[in-house]
Amino acid sequence: MRLIFGLVHLVKLFVVSLILVGILVTVGGTIMTVLFLQNLAADLPSLSGLVHKPSITTKIYDVNNVVLDELFAEELREKIVPLKEIPKITQMAFIATEDQRFYQHYGIDPKRILGALYADFVAKQAVQGASTITQQLAKNLFLKPEKTISRKLREMILSFRLERTYTKDEILQLYLNEIFFGDRIHGIASASKYYFGKDVKDLTLAESAILAGLPKSPNRFSPFNKRNPQAWKERQRVVLALMEQQGCVSRKEMDEAVKEEIRFATGGPGSTAREAPYFLEYIKRQLLDRFGFKRVFAKGLKVYTTLDLKVQKLAEKHFLGGDVFKNKPVEDFPDFQGAFLAMDPTDGAIKAMIGGRDFKRYKFNRAVQARRQPGSSFKPFVYCAAFASGISPTKVVVDEPYSKYDPGAQRWWSPQNYENRYYGSVTLATALAKSLNTVSVRLCENIGVEKVVAMAQRLGITSPLTPNLTLALGSPDVTLMEMVSAYASFANLGIHVNPRGIVRVEDADGQTIYEEEVVEREVLDEKVAYSMVRAMMGVVDFGTGTRAQVPGYQVAGKTGTNQDHIDAWFLGYMPDLVAGANVGYDDRRSMGNKMTGGRLVAPMVGAFFRDYVKLHPGRKEFKPPSGMAVVAICRDTNLLPGPNCTHVTSQAFPRGKAPTVHCRSHGVETDDGVETDDGGVRADATASGTDGSTEEPSSQDGY
């Protein structure tokens, strides 16, 4: 009996010990589990009061609000769309596909987890996911995409927190604006634009089903998947079937959606080819300097620029499509390059910019970065300094050979006119129109080279200028933007305006955070500026730039060709627009004999001008300042034209200073009454705006 009682006592002790051990294990396990979960959650963010602001794409617009480019780092997100702007059918497509009990569970779906485990067990591999929309959002917002148990547990903890912090509709809105749709596309708004070229509010059932099918495998089910071009259709049918099973749509609606013809946005990946790439890089540099990388690429800025895409297209058509480049394809002549720039002289707005022939090959922007010798297009600064010193454009000078001894080099310097041709007695206005080198050098010497340097800098030239007589022939290296900016001072009658490419910048909420000021200053007396306009009109009317004429419009400008025909330039302007261009080899080798600005570049700029006025008719004439009168004169004598004068132009004079006597020096008119032996053009031909003479028109384009 004692033995029995002993055994019973031992059993009791064993049972009590087991119970105590079980309690200790349970308590210990619970404590360890709590500590483990606390450790997992220790560095998780608190969602209380959280305002989620994902990366949003920055957009750059032209002056007509056309999108030129979108800037983004890793995520291309159009905008954040409120749930009320997303069609209900689109919302149901995602819920039916990704989380059909979304509105019933509290962050995780135990039933779905068990179903997924069973499916994986039967298939002996992972075949079905169990993550809810809330879990996917938690992972996308806060966690790295690693496949570990600890990450999954952290995801569940965050899901509970999200459900406690946000309503279901708020979670769905966050999810639809965050989800990845392939090719760096994030958010329903970007996906709608990228795949269908439309706003979210316009999505159809068929399109919604395609988008809802993408998150499972964006690359595989992409409509732009060339390896399996029908995968998207198969996935669309799956989504529509799920929607029909769950009562989201009827069988008839499902069948109609399957049959619907889908119009995808053209091109897919890489289809958003940037417009005006050199201008965009120019703008991007300014944005990065002012706002920094993160704000520019992730904060959804709206950048409104001065560029007019229609004008840019004209520039590309006539410059890049000009004969000079047609004859030298970029594939065969990659170093034969050029640049084009057009701006409004009244406010500095850049309307068009071309920095080279092929941006994909060469990012170097020749319109703002390349310094080249402008040749004779620098001469207006010499003449302007002379006019500002009180010398009249009608002053008669002698065009004859010139030589000067250079003691430093211990040699004679003898600049020559184009084709070594000299005209004898001419006015300064005519000398500028014909680009006579010897007259320009003598004029520079007479007024002092320091005045020329000061004038060029005042008008907008910022590159270093060496004060010597070679300035008169355009020896310094300058940028195209400097030259266009300086010529704009003439067009704007003495008021210089800094070139600008940005109008304003707004943040993602539409608040203006930066606005580019129009910076202007008076650099010339308007009478001097207008005298320059009239003199430079002669370049286009009867001088070296006749190929830039525009019927019915006053056009002024200047050609330029530097030594050995390395660079060719033309800069021209009308009252509302100034444009300039240059061409040449990057390695500065010669383009060949007679490859001048008047022959190569003036035709391209002229063709651009003639199409431009069809878009923007604007002002046709430069308005003379008060106290000045425009009078027709004989270019040979500076007198009022007689009945047989064939070299007629017009010039501006202070009131009371114009000639009153008629020219009687010409007794015989030429047979056709238009052209004479030296290429002069009579007033009636000038006014007609013809496209220039049949050969290089008085091509005295200096070296």
Q: pLDDT for 117-138, tens place per residue? A: 655 555 555 444 568 888 888 8
Statement to judge: residues 91 and 31 lie in one domain? no
**Same structural domain, 24 and 88:** no
pLDDT in tens, 366-380: 999 999 999 999 999
Instruction: Judge whether 656 lies within some domain.
Output: no
Checking if the pLDDT of 353 tops 80, the result is yes
Q: Considering the domain boundaries, does residue 642 fall inside one?
A: no
Query: What percent of the chain has pLDDT above 70?
Result: 81
pLDDT of 474 strictly over 80? yes
- Say if residue 53's pLDDT is above 50: yes
Clarify whether residues 284 and 230 are in a common domain. Answer: no
CA separation for the pair 442, 469 (Å, rounded):
9
Backbone angles phi, psi at 69, to 5 degrees: -165, 160
Write the CATH number for 248: 1.10.3810.10
478: CATH: 3.40.710.10
pLDDT of residue 656: 77
Under a CB-based contact definition with an 8 Å cutoff, are residues 63 and 305 in contact? yes
pLDDT band at 271; cut points 50, 70, 90:
very low
Mean pLDDT in residue range 566-575: 97
Q: Is residue 644 part of a domain?
A: no
Residue 188 lies in a domain: yes
Kindly state the helix (H) or strand (E) to which residue 503 belongs, with its residue range: strand 502-506
For residue 509, pLDDT over 60 is answered with yes
Question: Could you tell me if residue 689 is inside a domain?
Answer: no
Of 625, 645, 674, which residue sits at a domain end?
625
Domain co-membership, 236 together with 279: no
Residue 270 scores a pLDDT above 50: no
Catalytic residues: 98, 376
pLDDT in tens, 65-89: 999 988 876 566 777 889 999 999 9
With vertex at residue 537, the alpha carbon angle to CA 533 and CA 540, rounded to the nearest 5 degrees, is: 150
Task: Report the greatest alpha carbon distance in the chain.
Answer: 162
Say which residue, 188 or 702, is predicted with more confidence.
Answer: 188
- Beta carbons within 8 Å of 418's beta carbon, 6+ residues apart: 435, 437, 596, 699, 700, 701, 702, 703
Dist CA 197 CA 180 (whole Å): 17
Question: Dihedral sign, CA of 538, 561, 571, 391?
Answer: negative
Q: What is the pTM of this model?
A: 0.73
Instruction: Answer yes or no: do 36 and 94 share one domain.
Output: no
User: Is the pLDDT score of 23 beyond 60?
Assistant: no
Distances (CA, A) of 84 to 81, 137, 162, 173: 8, 19, 20, 9
Please give the Cα distance from 285 to 9 (Å, whole number).
Answer: 88
Please count the residues of the chain.
Answer: 703
Looking at residue 194, its pLDDT comes to: 87
Q: Which range among 405-414, 423-432, 482-491 shows the weakest confidence by mean pLDDT?
A: 405-414
Q: Domain check: are 246 and 282 in the same one?
A: no
151: confidence class by pLDDT, cuts 50, 70, 90: low
Spatial distance between the Cα atoms of 702 and 596, rounded to a whole number of angstroms:
9
**Whether residues 334 and 478 fall in one domain:** yes
pLDDT at 15 over 70: no
Task: Please name the residues in contact with 213: beta carbons below 8 A apart, sequence gap of 6 or more.
Answer: 97, 221, 232, 235, 236, 238, 239
pLDDT at 33: 43
Full domain range(s) for residue 304: 58-67+274-625
Task: Please enumerate in sequence order all residues whose Cβ is within 8 A of that of 410, keeping only pairs 6 or more positions apart, or say none.
Answer: none
Q: Which helix (H) or strand (E) holds 61?
A: strand 58-61
The pLDDT of residue 10 is above 80: no
pLDDT score, position 407: 73
| Partners of 514 in the β-ladder | 505
Last residue of a domain, one of 625, 652, 685: 625
Q: Across all residues in the chain, what is the average pLDDT?
A: 83
Bigger pLDDT: 445 or 415? 445
- Residue that terminates a domain, selected from 259, 294, 313: 259
Give the Å distances, CA to CA, from 380 to 87, 358, 475, 539: 63, 32, 14, 11
Of residues 365 and 48, which shows the higher confidence score?
365
Domain membership of residue 684 (yes or no) is: no
Q: What are phi and psi of 431, to 5 degrees?
A: -60, -40
Q: How far apart are CA 434 and CA 533, in angstroms?
A: 15
Contact status, residue 137 vs residue 152, Cβ threshold 8 Å: no
Distance CA(360)–CA(301), nearest Å, equals 25
Q: How do residues 657-693 score in pLDDT, each as one tens digit?
A: 788 888 887 754 433 332 222 322 222 223 223 233 2
Q: So what's the pLDDT on residue 231?
A: 92
Residues ≥6 apart with Cβ < 8 Å to 326: none
Kindly report the number of other CB atoms within 10 A of residue 676's CB atom.
15
Place of tokens 């010497």: 445
Instruction: Please report the sign of the dihedral spanned by the C-alpha atoms of residue 324, residue 325, residue 326, residue 332.
Output: positive
307 CB-contact burial (10 Å; exposed 0-12 / middle 13-18 / buried 19+):
buried
Among 250-259, 402-411, 521-530, 539-548, which stretch is predicted with the lowest mean pLDDT? Answer: 402-411
Give a yes or no: residue 48 inside a domain.
no
Residues 500 and 582 in one domain: yes
Q: Are residues 32 and 81 in the same domain?
A: no
Residue 437 maps to a domain:
yes
Shared domain check, 574 and 429:
yes
Q: Per-residue pLDDT tens for 198-213?
A: 999 999 999 999 999 9
Looking at the fold, whether 283 and 429 belong to one and the same domain comes out as: yes
When pLDDT is averaged across residues 523-540 and rounded to a whole number, the result is 95
CA distance 7 to 460: 111
- At 383, the pLDDT band (50, 70, 90 cuts) reads very high
Q: Is the pLDDT reported for residue 145 higher than 90? A: no
Q: Residue 153 and residue 163: Cα distance in Å, rounded?
A: 16
What are the residues whose beta carbons fall under 8 Å from the beta carbon of 67, sequence distance 6 or more? Answer: 59, 60, 61
Give the pLDDT confidence score for residue 419 in this predicted structure: 81
> Which tokens in the block code for residue 353?
């910019």
Same domain flag for 36 and 85: no
Query: Quick one: pLDDT at residue 13?
Result: 53
CA distance 544 to 598: 6
Domain count, the chain: 3
Is the pLDDT higher at 92 or at 27?
Answer: 92
